[in-house]
Amino acid sequence: MSYYHNEAFENPDYHFSETLEIDRRGSSQRNPFSHQSPYDSSLHGSYGDHRGREQNYPVAIPMASLGPGSDYQDLPSTSPYGNFTENLSFEPEPELTYSPHSTFHLLDYPYTHGTSSGSEDSFIRRRNRRPPDEIFMTSSSMSETDPVCSEEEDLIGSLASMSTKERIKAIQKMPETMRKKREIRNKVLKEITKKANHRPSCCTQCLQGAAVSFRRFGNTLSEHFHQLRVWHKTLKIIGAEFGTSVLSYFVFLTWLLNFNIFSFLINFSFITIPQFLAAEPNNLSFTGLELFTGAGYFQRTVLYYGFYTNATISKIENGPSYNMQLAYIFTVGIYFVICFLILLFSMAKFFSRNFINPQELSVNASKLLCTWDFNITNDKAVKLKQKNLCTQIKEGLTEVNKEVLNFSAMERTIRIGVHLIAWVASLGVAVAACAGVYFLSINNLELFMKGYRNDLESQAAMLVLPVVVSLLNTLIPFFFSWLGHLEKFQTPGQHIYVTITRNIMLKMSIVGILCYYWLNIVATSESQCWETLVGQDIYHIYRLVLVDFIFCLLGSFFGEFLRRIIGTTVCLNLGLPEFDIGRNVLDLIYAQTLTWIGILFSPLLPGIQMIAFFIVFFVKKVSLMRNCQPPRKVWRTSQMMTSFIFLLFCPSFLGVLSVIGVTVWRLKPSEGCGPFRGLPSMYASVAEWIQVLENYTVSKWVVWIYHNLITSELFFFILSSFVLIVTYLYWQIIQGRKTMTKLLRQQINNAGKDKMLLLKKLRVQQRASRSSSALGGRGQQRSSSSYHPSRQPAQEVPDYLERAFDRNQNTSYNEHPFSAGISSSSDYLPGRRTGRKMRRGCFAAAGFGDSLAPGRASPPRSQAPSTADLVFLTNYKETCA
Amino acid sequence: MGGSASLIPRDLLGEYQELTFLSKQEILLAYKRFSELLPKEERENACSARVPKSQILTLPELRANPFQHRICHVFSTSETRDDSMSFEDFLDMLSVFSDSATSDVKSHYAFRIFDFDDDGTLDRKDLEQLVNCLTGQGEESRLSRAEMEQLIQNILEESDIDKDGTINLSEFQHVVSRSPDFASSFKIVL
């Protein structure tokens, strides 16, 4: 950290590169009063005459036809930067001639610098990571050139030393025009080829060739994947009309859909296809009702666990064989491991992106700066969005102006009472629903056990339970949202989160009670094949999934369509309904949970869910387009997505894992069917396999791993304590960094205050000097304008100021126990001590400001400290994240 | 697709891929859309032609956008300052607004788009114009003078860290870094 600082503040190039402040422009050669815009690259005064030829270069000089060393000599050698052509790295390349000037006046336009702060920053950081001698080399090699050029050289040098992939990324990241990027790239390539010529090595060339072809292969592959995105257009239309928040629901839906396609493919290829080879003919009749009940005909198909064989499949005599038991357990096991990793990583990604700084999320007004949704391209939607934003701004302003509501004790108790009652009511409803489901299912099982007849009546009876469960799942959320309205929460955020918590509670407890029932009652019943029962029959996930899907469709029909009819005809003040993102996402999570539970009992369930999601996608889309209006509130989309992924992970996936775990380790598989028939538990098949493996010397390592790692408690004990220690360390680091962030923030604030103070002093001085030399007739109003970023003061003032700040900065950095602050963060009291330090720095600065004489000339190149701080803070935060 | 692919030389296409965040398909699609904006006789050499601003603004993706003029202005490299766009400017624009562009690049260009007077900082005037764009120009949706003042004051209080009365690029990026939604909403897809 301190190294960074030292280098940063002593290296003039660094200062130079961070030309963020407007003040800088006053000090550069440009005249800020001219009407050239700082962004505008087009007005480069004398180079205007080159423009004409640049215009149509791609046609005039097609790139492909220009080999290196073609007739570029003909092209304008009148470049105003003639001296650069003698420069070591500037040997004109074909492409360079298209734009004879542009790269070289980085200084001429502040945005180049601004930007470069983005990209260059990272270069600087990156360079810091490299060993110091290398840094020295790159910077010293261009010490001869003039500063503008050397910065460019620096950039190119650091680019050239990157790997190809990194370099492409870095160039892409530069916020420059295409022409400039191309130029930089060409120079970098030149630099690289120059370097490569020094030590031509066959091996590296081979490697490079391989890398290139590999990259090309990757590109074509990703292109083909790109073509597979069938919903691209649909998503675009939705985004255009409803904005990102509604879009995120559909993105989540497609994500789940892809997930299910993946699991379907895995299960199908590793479990089902081998089973097809060994299948016996199915002689049950197929009527059509089975599609809904999943019983009858389907019972004897690959859809269910019970149909799978426990044999070892080998088609060729003495050829390689396929052990169905192992295939089954390993496929499911590995599938869950993959799921776990995918979920974990995407969750971590979301968390790190969205909860960088949670305490600042309450800030509102500055959100406006980045609130516009560029996805919305529909004319009407834009108008609506603008109107909504306007009302929101107005509401926000009145809220800010309003006093904080002070409730009397009476009101407060009433509020708490209402919340309590609401919670009791919702818990009661959830418990009642669970109890109802439980007794209904017991009742249903008895009915089923008494007489298993494969007729219409009994099949219809099977549908009672799933219908009831889905009904409960659909209707109770409405009750919860009604409760939420009654409660009158202070913020909409609270409302949403409380409602979601209640819904999750309800759904998870219903699924939980069903699981308990499957594992404890169905599994011990005397049914001949309980896994199939769970998978298909009475308490069958198949039917739950199916009925849930139907209810989802009905829900979008009645919930949204009828609501629109009511809203537009009967009760006009209701208006069009909004798309309820929260409820819909919860439905998706619920459906996915069912699929995961069902995978063990019915391996092809992901395939069914895949089809269901596919239909849901289009039904929801149509319903959305027909019935709904864009949401009025601005949703914090990414934050919501984070919590949804988290919900998918935490109650849903982890719950499923424990259910599966109990099934695999504890329960006795049924005697009469399935791949694990006859074993004490599903897991026993693995143990048996290991015993077989012990006879072969080749696979000793598997046995060793099994005995010493997988079944050994000691290993897990060590592993978990190690993980705990690492977690604790990270926790401490985070605490240290939080303190650090706080300190830096305070410092920026103080620097800002210093600046204000100095400006005030300066103005007093100016006024004094002007009144003393009363005739200086020019620029009278200047100091009378209140402190405002109008450019006159900005141009004049910072010259002294910046110097003052440079010193002030140094003193405060010297005084400030920065590095100590991190290392001894635990018992370090940040607030008071730094406060004092800063105050001292502030006084020093003020004193310095006093001694400033306004007329003195000052060196133009320096960095206003606050910006440096800010940049540092941002960098710092990035590294933290 | 195949037809338009032949119009962009292969290595130029590769170069575009390397220099922008766009994939091959996106570049080809962009080319198609861009050449549709040109009059028939110029379509052969769409790579070198310039499309006037009025034509660019007929794109459905930009037509309703309140920042359409600013977007054209920022991405145009025309030296006559008529905000016309060449194909490369067009690609630059799409690259910045694409899905895979980094938040850094996006925020940089967002800053330039919001900087209405092109002076390198967002001052009160810029903010006022920005808010006007956000709320629309309609009579009923306009903010009153006092509301506007208050709002701008709030914005500056929260985001102007060094208290110089304007928001500069790094302050802007700081604000953006606190709003994770930005990257997904600052997006235009063809």
What pLDDT shows up at residue A603? 82
Q: Which of B23, B50, B165 sits opposite A223 (nearest CB)?
A: B23
Q: Which of A54, A189, A374, A869 best probes binding to B when mutated, by most B CB atoms within 10 angstroms?
A: A374
Q: What is the mean pLDDT of residues A532-538?
A: 55
Q: What is the mean pLDDT of residues A621-625?
A: 85
Q: What is the mean pLDDT of residues B6-29?
A: 82
Q: Is B6 part of the contact surface with chain A (CB cutoff 8 Å)?
A: no
Q: DSSP readout, A476-525?
A: HHHHHHHHHHHH--SSHHHHHHHHHHHHHHHHHHHHHHHHHHIIIIITTS
pLDDT band per the 50, 70, 90 thresholds, residue A401: low
* Contact check, Cβ <8 Å, A752/B79: no
CA distance A615 to A380: 28
Q: List, in sequence order, every residue forming a beta bridge with A629; answer none if it has no partner.
A: A578
Kindly state whether residues B68 and B129 are assigned to the same domain: no
Q: DSSP readout, A100-154?
A: SSGGGGGGG-HHHHHHHHHHHHHHHHHHHHS-HHHHHHHHHTTTTS-HHHHHHHH
B4 found inside a domain: no
Q: How far is A29 from chain B (nearest CA, A)?
A: 16
Nearest by Cα to B65 from A375, A245, A391? A375
Query: Nearest residue of A to residue B124 by CA position?
Result: A789
CA distance A301 to A317: 26
Angle between helices A684-693 and A324-354 (to 10 degrees): 110
Helix spans in A518-580 (H): 530-535, 541-555, 563-565
Above 80 in pLDDT, residue A877?
A: no
Kindly state whether residues B17 and B93 are assigned to the same domain: yes
What DSSP state is assigned to residue B42?
A: G
CA distance A399 to A584: 31
What pLDDT shows up at residue A281? 59
* Residue B66 three-state SS: coil
Which of residues A716 and A640 earns the better pLDDT score? A716
What pLDDT shows up at residue A737? 93
The pLDDT > 70 percentage for chain A reads: 55
Encode pLDDT of A450-489 as tens digits: 655 555 666 666 677 788 888 888 888 888 888 887 887 7
Above 90 in pLDDT, residue A565?
A: no
Kindly state whether residues B112 and B72 are assigned to the same domain: no
Q: If you count them, how many residues does chain B have?
A: 190
Last residue of a domain, one of B38, B72, B97: B97
* Contact check, Cβ <8 Å, A870/B179: no
Q: Residue A127's CB: how many other CB atoms inside 10 A? A: 19
Please give the structure tokens belonging to residue A313: 């499949």
Q: How far is B79 from chain A (nearest CA, A)?
A: 4
Q: Is B48 part of the contact surface with chain A (CB cutoff 8 Å)?
A: yes
Q: List, in sequence order, every residue forming a beta bridge with A313; answer none if it has no partner.
A: A322
What DSSP state is assigned to residue A405?
A: P
B75 found inside a domain: yes
Above 70 in pLDDT, residue A369?
A: yes
Q: Which of A25, A365, A870 sits opposite B120 (nearest CB)?
A: A25
Kindly state whether residues B84 and B152 are assigned to the same domain: no
pLDDT band per the 50, 70, 90 thresholds, residue A397: confident
**Cα angle A685, A691, A694; round to 5:** 145
Q: Is B54 part of the contact surface with chain A (CB cutoff 8 Å)?
A: no
Above 70 in pLDDT, residue A230?
A: no
**Tokens 């126990």 — which residue?**
A817
B3 found inside a domain: no
Q: What is the mean pLDDT of residues A413-421?
A: 89
Please give the structure tokens belonging to residue A382: 């834009």
B67 found inside a domain: yes
CA distance A371 to A305: 51
Helix spans in A773-880 (H): 781-784, 791-796, 798-815, 818-823, 830-851, 865-880
Let me know if A383 is exposed, middle or buried by CB neighbors in 10 A (0-12, 13-18, 19+): middle
Nearest by Cα to A589 from A647, A642, A515, A510? A647
Q: Which residues of chain B make contact with A219, given a CB cutoff of 8 A?
A: 17, 24
What pLDDT shows up at residue A90? 37
Query: Nearest residue of B to residue A58 by CA position?
Result: B48
Above 90 in pLDDT, residue A728?
A: yes
B135 found inside a domain: yes
* Contact check, Cβ <8 Å, A20/B158: no
Kindly state whether residues B134 and B171 are assigned to the same domain: yes
Which of residues A808 and B20 earns the better pLDDT score? B20
* Contact check, Cβ <8 Å, B188/A864: no
Q: Alpha carbon A454 to chain centroid distance?
A: 51
* Residue A578 three-state SS: strand
Q: What is the mean pLDDT of residues A703-731?
A: 91
pLDDT band per the 50, 70, 90 thresholds, residue A833: very low
Kindly state whether residues B110 and B63 are assigned to the same domain: no
Above 80 in pLDDT, residue A504?
A: yes
The answer to which of A411-420, A772-781, A870-879 has the lowest mean pLDDT is A870-879
Above 70 in pLDDT, residue A56?
A: no
Kindly state whether residues B61 and B131 are assigned to the same domain: no
Contact B119, A24 (CB under 8 A): no
What pLDDT shows up at residue A225? 64
Q: What is the mean pLDDT of residues A213-217?
A: 75
Q: What is the mean pLDDT of residues B137-145?
A: 73
Cβ-Cβ contacts under 8 Å for A103 (sequence gap 6 or more) = A152, A180, A183, A184, A187
ipTM for the complex shown: 0.83
Nearest by Cα to A377 from A481, A198, A514, A238? A238
Query: Nearest residue of B to residue A379 by CA position?
Result: B64
* Contact check, Cβ <8 Å, A394/B141: no
B80 found inside a domain: yes
What DSSP state is assigned to residue A366?
A: G
Q: How far is B34 from chain A (nearest CA, A)?
A: 16
The answer to which of A154-158, A634-638, A708-712 has the lowest mean pLDDT is A634-638
What pLDDT shows up at residue A717? 94
Q: Which of B28, B42, B79, B158 best probes binding to A when mutated, by most A CB atoms within 10 angstroms?
A: B79
pLDDT band per the 50, 70, 90 thresholds, residue A288: low
Q: For all residues of chain A together, what is the average pLDDT?
A: 67
Residue A578: phi, psi to the nearest 5? -100, 155
Q: What is the mean pLDDT of residues A389-398?
A: 74
Residue A612: phi, psi to the nearest 5? -60, -45
Q: Highest mean pLDDT range out of A100-109, A370-379, B113-122?
A: B113-122
* Contact check, Cβ <8 Å, A369/B167: yes
For chain B, what is the domain count? 2
Last residue of a domain, one of B81, B97, B113: B97
Q: What is the mean pLDDT of residues A605-629?
A: 86
Q: Highest mean pLDDT range out of A16-30, A837-851, B129-143?
A: B129-143
What pLDDT shows up at residue A46? 39
Which of residues A234 and A287 earns the better pLDDT score? A234
CA distance A765 to A771: 10
Q: Which of A20, A60, A179 sits opposite B88 (nearest CB)?
A: A179
- Amino acid, single-letter form, for residue A212: V
Integer angstrom CA distances of residue A426 from A418, A481, A512, A516, A585: 12, 10, 17, 22, 20
Q: Highest mean pLDDT range out of A63-67, A875-879, B88-92?
A: B88-92
Could you tell me how many helices (H) and strands (E) chain A has, helices first? 37, 2
**Cα angle B124, B128, B129; round to 5:** 120
Q: What is the mean pLDDT of residues A201-205?
A: 67
Let me know if A734 is exposed, middle or buried by CB neighbors in 10 A (0-12, 13-18, 19+): exposed
Torsion angle of C-alpha atoms A281, A286, A290, A291, degrees rounded to 10:
90
CA distance A474 to A451: 32
Q: Which of A24, A25, A116, A369 best probes binding to B when mutated, by most B CB atoms within 10 angstroms?
A: A369
Query: Nearest residue of A to residue B23 by CA position?
Result: A223
Q: Alpha carbon A349 to chain centroid distance?
A: 5
Range of the domain at B89: 11-97
The answer to which of A326-330, A573-577, A703-707, A708-712 has the lowest mean pLDDT is A573-577
* Contact check, Cβ <8 Å, B154/A361: no
Kindly state whether residues B71 and B41 are assigned to the same domain: yes
CA distance A180 to A68: 19
Q: Is B35 part of the contact surface with chain A (CB cutoff 8 Å)?
A: no
What pLDDT shows up at residue A820? 37
**Tokens 């910072």 — which residue?**
A798
Q: Which of A366, A390, A394 sits opposite B175 (nearest CB)?
A: A366
Q: How many Cβ contacts (< 8 angstroms) between chains A and B?
A: 286
Q: Which residues of chain A make contact with B102, given a CB cutoff of 8 A?
A: 173
Encode pLDDT of A750-783 as tens digits: 887 888 888 889 989 999 988 887 655 444 444 4
What pLDDT shows up at residue A536? 52
pTM: 0.66
Which of residues A225 and A603 earns the better pLDDT score? A603
Above 70 in pLDDT, residue A51?
A: no
Contact B87, B34 (CB under 8 A): yes
Please give the structure tokens belonging to residue B163: 């208290």
Q: What is the mean pLDDT of residues A547-566?
A: 77
Q: How far is B87 from chain A (nearest CA, A)?
A: 10
Q: Which residues of chain B make contact with A63, given a CB cutoff of 8 A?
A: 9, 11-12, 15
Q: What is the mean pLDDT of residues B83-91?
A: 86
Integer angstrom CA distances of residue B173 from A40, A114, A367, A864, B182: 21, 11, 12, 17, 11
Q: Is B109 part of the contact surface with chain A (CB cutoff 8 Å)?
A: yes
Encode pLDDT of A126-158 as tens digits: 434 334 333 334 343 444 445 556 777 777 778
CA distance A859 to A802: 9
Strand stretches in A132-285, DSSP E: none
* Contact check, Cβ <8 Å, A178/B92: yes
Q: What is the mean pLDDT of residues B56-68?
A: 85
> Residue-wise over B74-105: b if at least 16 C-beta within 10 A, else e?
bbbbbbeeebbbbbbbbbbbbbbbbeebbbbb
Q: Is B145 part of the contact surface with chain A (CB cutoff 8 Å)?
A: no
Nearest by Cα to A643 from A361, A243, A351? A351
Query: Nearest residue of B to residue A636 by CA position?
Result: B181
What pLDDT shows up at residue A424? 93
* Contact check, Cβ <8 Å, B45/A56: yes
Last residue of a domain, one of B97, B115, B150: B97
Can you give the CATH number for the domain in which B21 is found?
A: 1.10.238.10
Nearest by Cα to B184 from A252, A666, A482? A252
Q: Which of B57, B168, B186 best probes binding to A when mutated, by most A CB atoms within 10 angstroms?
A: B168
Query: Nearest residue of A to residue B134 by CA position?
Result: A386
The pLDDT > 90 percentage for chain A reads: 6
Strand stretches in A216-332, DSSP E: 312-313, 322-323
Percent composition of chain B: helix, strand, coil (DSSP 3-state, to 5): 60, 5, 35
Q: Which of B164, B175, B177 best probes binding to A when mutated, by most A CB atoms within 10 angstroms?
A: B164
Q: Alpha carbon B43 to chain centroid distance?
A: 24
CA distance A100 to A306: 75
B20 found inside a domain: yes
Angle between helices B24-37 and A202-228 (to 10 degrees): 60
What pLDDT shows up at residue A792? 42
CB < 8 Å & 24+ apart, contacts of A413-417: none
Query: Nearest residue of A to residue B59 by CA position?
Result: A377
Q: For all residues of chain B together, what is the average pLDDT?
A: 82
pLDDT band per the 50, 70, 90 thresholds, residue A246: confident
Q: Which of B109, B141, B177 sits opposite A874 (nearest CB)?
A: B177
Percent composition of chain A: helix, strand, coil (DSSP 3-state, to 5): 75, 0, 25
* Contact check, Cβ <8 Å, B155/A369: yes
Q: Alpha carbon B177 to chain centroid distance?
A: 19
Encode pLDDT of A428-441 as tens digits: 999 999 999 888 88
Contact A571, A562 (CB under 8 A): no
- Amino acid, single-letter form, for residue A48: G
| Strand B85-86 versus strand A322-323 pairing type | unpaired
Above 70 in pLDDT, residue A2?
A: no
Please give the structure tokens belonging to residue B133: 């764009």
Kindly state whether residues B139 and B70 are assigned to the same domain: no
Element (H, E) at A703: helix A700-705
Please give the structure tokens belonging to residue A531: 């896994």
Kindly state whether residues B40 and B79 are assigned to the same domain: yes
Kindly state whether residues B18 and B75 are assigned to the same domain: yes
Above 70 in pLDDT, residue B179?
A: yes
What pLDDT shows up at residue A425? 92
pLDDT band per the 50, 70, 90 thresholds, residue A42: very low
Q: Which of A223, A370, A382, A388 best probes binding to B when mutated, by most B CB atoms within 10 angstroms?
A: A370
Kindly state whether residues B93 and B107 are assigned to the same domain: no
B85 found inside a domain: yes
